[in-house]
Structure formats: C-alpha cells, structure tokens
Amino acid sequence: MEFLILGFFTGLSLILAIGAQNIFVIEQGLKKQYVFLVCLVCSVSDLLLIFLGILLFHYFQQYFSASIELLLNVLLIIFLIYFIYSKIRTLQTNINLSTTLEEISLSEVLFKTLGFTYLNAHVYSDTVFFLGNFSKNFLIKEKVFFGIGASIASFIFFFFLGYLSNYLSKYAQSKKTWRYINLFIICFMSFLIMYIAKETLILFTSKILRDNYVA
C-alpha cells in the first residue's frame, strides 16, 4: 500500500507544472470542447509511458552492473536537482489562458492533444526515465503498485483540471497559487533526493567493499 501512495505523490509532483499540456487541458475545459477526450488521452498516455518506463528498467535490470546502477542513481539525483531548480525559477510565474472560442474538429483536438503529450520531451524524462529508474530496485509487485499509484494521480489530475477548469482558471493565473504548489514539489523532491542519495551511498560502499574483497 505504501508503494501505491509513494507512486501517487511522486506522479503528482511530476505532473503539477505550468506546461503546455496542462494549459491546453485547462483551455479546453474553459471552452467546453471535447473535455472528456482530452483528459482521457492525456491520462491513458501517462499510464502507458509510466509502465513503459517501469518495464524497460525491470527488463534491462538483469544487465545492470553495480557501476551502471551507481551511474543511473547519480543521473537520477542530477535530474531531481535540475527539476527542483526549474521549480525555484518558476516560483513567481503566472500564465495567461486563452478563452477565445474557435471551431475545432474532433480529429484536430485529438492531434493537438497527442502533440502536446508525445512531442513534449519532459513527458519522457518524467515518466519513462524518472519513474522507471526510481522504481528499478523495487520488487515486481511493488513496481506494479507504484505504477498504479502514479497513473491514478494522472487520471485524477487531468480530469480534475479539465472539468473544474472554470473554477481553477482564476487560481491557475495566480503567482501565489503556483508558489505554494512549487514549494510542495520542492520539499517532496528534496525528500526523494535524500532517499536516492542514501541508496547510492549504500550501493557505492557495497561496491568498494566487493572490489576490495576481490582484490
């Protein structure tokens, strides 16, 4: 159960951002155009990418040496430090939402949603690399619960964002709101850095002891 909760809050921390995809979801909600489709495509895409990352790291884990695991952990820490830095930079950010109603076809909104999702480099670093890498040493059952938790966060977030966009729009453009959101993310991600740093230190110590024993 703890891995379900960990996955939920980790996934939520990654998805809470002022990004093109989230702004598009809010705008479609404000315009009341294909809201269900947009939210569903974004949520299902996240689910697929989350489990793609988890399965890739699970499948290739058998080829990982202690040195590769150490390198992946270091990259994970660097990623998190950069992620936190980007949140610190956006503490004062506000956004402008477009509420201009324009005719848009089903196929057009579908292609736009897919574009905002799969042409966004951050979606791969956040879901495939980060969540897959972070869960690489979990047991398979723990990985499944972790992935389900992260996926639930995506479904709740996107549908909440789409259908409550009219209410949320006034808060979405507030610097104060995003400051609180980013502070939460910074605190949670800092906790993850400490957790990964501890695991990396254990791994590094084990590698040194093993190398000395072999020598």
How many domains in the chain? 1
Mean pLDDT computed over 89-99: 62
Written in H, E and C, the secondary structure of 6-59 is HHHHHHHHHHCCCCHHHHHHHHHHHHCCCHHHHHHHHHHHHHHHHHHHHHHHHH
Burial (CB < 10 A; 0-12, 13-18, 19+), residue 149, is: buried
The pTM for the full model equals 0.79
| 188-213 per-position pLDDT tens digit | 888 888 888 887 787 667 666 565 65
Would the pLDDT of 67 be above 60? yes
Mean of the per-residue pLDDT values of the chain: 82
Tell me the residue range of the domain where 157 lies. Answer: 2-214
Mean pLDDT computed over 92-116: 74
**Top mean-pLDDT range of 24-38, 46-60, 61-75, 172-186:** 46-60
| 124-140 per-position pLDDT tens digit | 888 888 898 888 888 89
Q: Which residue has the higher pLDDT, 49 or 29?
A: 49
3-state secondary structure of 99: coil
Alpha carbons 196 and 74: distance in angstroms, whole number: 9
